[in-house]
Chains A and B, each alone.
Chain A
Amino acid sequence: MSVTTAESPVTPHDLQVFGEEVLTAFLLEQGLPEAPQQGDDSRRVHASIAVTGGWSGHVTLDVSRTGADVLAARMLQADEVSDEDVVDAIGELVNVLGGNVKGLLLEESALGLPEVSTDAPGDRRTATEVCHAELLWAGHPVDVRVWLAEQDDTTPGDTP
């Protein structure tokens, strides 16, 4: 369930702490109906944000479309949300988690801009998973992973 290696700058416990803070800050607003616990979980929303510099890698977030709808609705305090709303809200959530993870790094690194896909997860073949936690936000499991970019000089996009 949880994977850590010596190279990981972040522990599953750290991710749980950040997840708890995001939950408290953005997802607990009152006056919302109880989150629906069932739905079509085969559709997923994948979000990713890059960290580059002294430490290079990604932070990714993966949640069911049903869950993503609920999270977006809670952040926006809206009864209904559009695809655009969901993409933006989940992107902001991964941005916040990514920034928090970057805050733990000893090396100076920079945060990219979030990318969100409702089709397929991003290509992670050139990265190694170094940390994984499953958060529970408003009754929905949210899968958060930290990936270390492989230090491969031939891979375009990697920081030298």
Chain B
Amino acid sequence: MTLSPTAFGYVADLVRREAAIVLEPGKEYLVEARLHPLARAAGVADVSAYVAHLQSPAGRVDHAAVVEALTTNETSWFRDREPFDVLVSHVIPDLLVRTAARRKITIWSAACSSGQEAYTIAMLMAEHVVPKGWQVEIVATDIAPSMVQRTREGSYSQLEVGRGLPAPLMVKHFQRAGTQWQVSDQLRSMVRVQTLNLAAPFPLLPVFDLVFLRNVLIYFDQPTKQSVLSRVRRVMSPDGYLFLGGAETTLGVDETWHRTPVGRLTLNRPRPQVDDTSPPALPHRMPRTVVGATPTTSTLLSTTQRAN
């Protein structure tokens, strides 16, 4: 009756690879419940038979539907919180100064999944940047066409909006549409989506002031990490900022990046500042960071999470 560990492992691996979402053992019930309708639609006896079908060449076309069925409630808004705090407290103020002439900020949400990250950024930009007269363009890309489509639609289930979307922002930027919640036209107009494979040469992209490449490098081997980081660097403004996931670093992978710790987070920038002895426009509110030849350790590890 219950899914075998092998079958569960296959599905968990598929979802991890395609959507960078980890289904831990114990979520077998979830897999069964979500795949049951797909198994029924495919006309197979049960979920185990359906997983066997997925592993066959004929089953490949159904992988996208499986990934979608299993990832709908697993992605959070403001995922990890801290990158978005730092975005507002440090990065946006700095970018507003640096882009004062052109009054435009261009952002890349790479591996955007179903779009929560891109729209989280859009909400913060709508709050802190757009009212100042800046134009904001967010390019959201994913390798999976189904994820790109979901991001384009901007329609989320009740369980999905429950995942970390603060209620004041929810009522500001979302409206109910039947059982779903629809993101506002204002946010959607800021986000442009396209399919993109990070591991292959990039299509023509704008120059980005800000790149979110979170929780995706961990799934690549070392040479691929290097080539991805090097390609990303070439589409970034020299003054830009790169956000990686909590378990990811450019350290020891690509030494051309300049790393600045802010709190528990490390900001990666394409080139060192012209004068390394004067710290970049960093926080008055937060303790001064150490910027030097080898900024490898943060003195701020004890900084506790701030309440709202």
Chain B residues in 8 Å Cβ range of A31: 26
Chain B residues in 8 Å Cβ range of A110: none
Asked whether, in the complex, the Cβ of B30 is within 8 Å of the Cβ of A28, the reply is: yes
B293 CB → nearest A CB, Å: 49
Chain B residues in 8 Å Cβ range of A20: 33
Choose among A17, A25, A30, A100 the residue that contacts B29 (Cβ–Cβ < 8 A): A30
Asked whether, in the complex, the Cβ of B159 is within 8 Å of the Cβ of A24, the reply is: yes
A100 CB → nearest B CB, Å: 7
Take A21-B157, A21-B158 as given contacts and tell me if A28 and B33 are in contact as well, using a CB distance cutoff of 8 Å.
Answer: yes
Chain B residues in 8 Å Cβ range of A25: 159
Please report which residues of chain A, range 23-48, place their CB below 8 angstroms from some CB of chain B when the two chains form the complex: 23-25, 28, 30-31, 34
Interface centre among A18, A20, A31, A34 (most CB of B within 10 A): A20
Choose among B27, B159, B178 the residue that contacts A21 (Cβ–Cβ < 8 A): B159
Asked whether, in the complex, the Cβ of A34 is within 8 Å of the Cβ of B29, the reply is: no
Asked whether, in the complex, the Cβ of B2 is within 8 Å of the Cβ of A34, the reply is: yes
Choose among A23, A24, A30, A104 the residue that contacts B179 (Cβ–Cβ < 8 A): A104
Asked whether, in the complex, the Cβ of A23 is within 8 Å of the Cβ of B33, the reply is: yes
Q: Give Cα distance in the complex from A34 to B1, angstroms.
A: 9
- B73 is an interface residue with CB less than 8 A from chain A: yes
Please report which residues of chain B, range 112-162, place their CB below 8 angstroms from some CB of chain A when the two chains form the complex: 157-159
A39 CB → nearest B CB, Å: 17
Question: Which chain A residue lies CB-closest to B27?
Answer: A30
Take A23-B33, A24-B30, A30-B26 as given contacts and tell me if A103 and B159 are in contact as well, using a CB distance cutoff of 8 Å.
Answer: no
- B271 is an interface residue with CB less than 8 A from chain A: no
A135 CB → nearest B CB, Å: 11
Total number of A residues with any Cβ neighbor in B under 8 Å: 15
Q: B-facing mask of A8-28, CB < 8 A → 1, else 0?
A: 000000100110110111001
- B176 is an interface residue with CB less than 8 A from chain A: yes
Chain B residues in 8 Å Cβ range of A100: 158, 179
B215 CB → nearest A CB, Å: 22
Chain A residues in 8 Å Cβ range of B178: 14, 104
B4 CB → nearest A CB, Å: 14
Q: Give Cα distance in the complex from A14 to B179, angstroms.
A: 7
Q: Give Cα distance in the complex from A25 to B28, angstroms.
A: 14
A137 CB → nearest B CB, Å: 9
A132 CB → nearest B CB, Å: 17
A-B contact pairs, 28 of them (CB 8 A): A14-B178, A14-B179, A17-B157, A17-B179, A18-B179, A20-B33, A21-B158, A21-B159, A23-B33, A24-B30, A24-B33, A24-B73, A25-B159, A28-B29, A28-B30, A28-B33, A30-B26, A30-B27, A30-B28, A30-B29, A31-B26, A34-B1, A34-B2, A100-B158, A100-B179, A103-B176, A104-B178, A104-B179
Q: Which residues of B contact A (CB under 8 A)?
A: 1-2, 26-30, 33, 73, 157-159, 176, 178-179
Apart from A24-B159, A28-B30, 4 more pairs, CB < 8 Å: A24-B73, A30-B26, A31-B26, A100-B179
Q: Which residues of A contact B (CB under 8 A)?
A: 14, 17-18, 20-21, 23-25, 28, 30-31, 34, 100, 103-104
Closest 4 CB pairs of A and B: A30-B26, A28-B29, A17-B179, A21-B159
